[in-house]
A and B are shown apart, each in its own frame.
Chain A
Amino acid sequence: MFGNLDFDVIRRALPYLFYEGMTFTLTLTFLAALGGLIFGTALALMRLSGLKILGRIAGIYVDFMRSLPLVLVIFWFYFLVPYIGQWVTGASRPISVGAFASSLITFIMFEAAYFSEIMRAGIQSISRGQPAAASALGLTYAQTMRYVVLPQAFRNMLPVLITQTIVLFQDTSLVYVLSITDFLGAASKVAQRDGRLVEMYLFAAVVYFTISCIASYGVRRLQARIAIIR
């Protein structure tokens, strides 16, 4: 059944696949995870701040994002970002921001909703005695969060955060709908050009699978270690 397949096409395409495609995918994953975590933590703090309006706004944002398919959100931002750029800079026409910037903004905005739920759970999992003890020592609310609550929440939730990043890594393949050359996009372009769909898609599957497997194995190791420390 693999008789008429040509796996050499993969070898020839390797530099393109990895230098162009995988570099884009990994850079996007890393920056989106970082941005999503920062924005997501801010959203979580808003929801737990006790200020009704702030909490409401953050809650609506999170629920809204989580209700929509990522593909639709990608389309939204792809068309919306140029107009926002125009509005921010006061330019006379929509600004073209480029594929990378557009995808990065999309994924930060989208993933923040998911990261915020994780951080919220992490913050809530810390016993009430902790912030109480911090306040008793004279720390302000901001200091309590910064030095006592958030570090613990982050550490407790690290495995979940990494797991979400693995999901994000896989989700970045959806920029395919914008014909961007991420790893899958590169594989797909070679596949179409050389008429080698089977070889290229199988190879892409194996690469995604291997990277995700290694990462999730790392998460399990980490979880085991954290379980012992507690």
Chain B
Amino acid sequence: MIEISHVNKWYSPTFQVLTDCTTNVTKGEVVVVCGPSGSGKSTLIKCVNALEPFQSGDILVDGTKVNDPKTNLPKLRSRVGMVFQHFELFPHLKIIDNLCLAQEKVLGRGHDKAQAKGMQLLERVGLKEQAQKFPAQLSGGQQQRVAIARALAMDPIVMLFDEPTSALDPEMVSEVLDVMVDLAREGMTMMVVTHEMGFARKVANRVIFMDRGEIVEDAAKDDFFGKPRSDRAQKFLSKILSH
């Protein structure tokens, strides 16, 4: 589904953010990407739908080359759902209109159909009653659930999550993770940048560990948590699991 091969990204010759990253995500797989801050994991996931450009290497999503200038990026992105750290709901639009905008403008769905789809997804994330409110009237956890629903409304073939819970107050983390766990269990293909190791343990198939722009470890979940091979991954795990 997602094939990343030998991706390099730098801002200047001395400032390399991604170094020779290679991995892939197959259909129905849930891959968690973790690593210390500044390790390039957010940059890597943004490269997948070309929100960040990169200088060399290739990324294919469902057989389409992301870094090909001929690729119709809006079309490709409409099939790749993305959830951001800071939700990025559109503050001037009602919740339901946040879900409808891209359905209508990008997919060309009729307004009624888009509304019906939107309401159905809001119900699924438990926020049907909030449809007529504005984003700023919702809590952070609610906003992030709306953001997930907004991405799902596009019928994506894969979902990208960029630290979806790290901007949330602790008591709101679980409501978002619950939605994500359900999604994973239904067989959605997911690439998730997160520090939530509980989530990784529960639903991930594979875990990727990144440090200083490199993929240091790329292992099946049990292997990763059982006996990480690299020092850096061991240190990282001991730090975030020690509390």
Q: Do chains A and B touch in the complex (CB under 8 A)?
A: no
- B-side interface residues toward A, CB under 8 Å? none
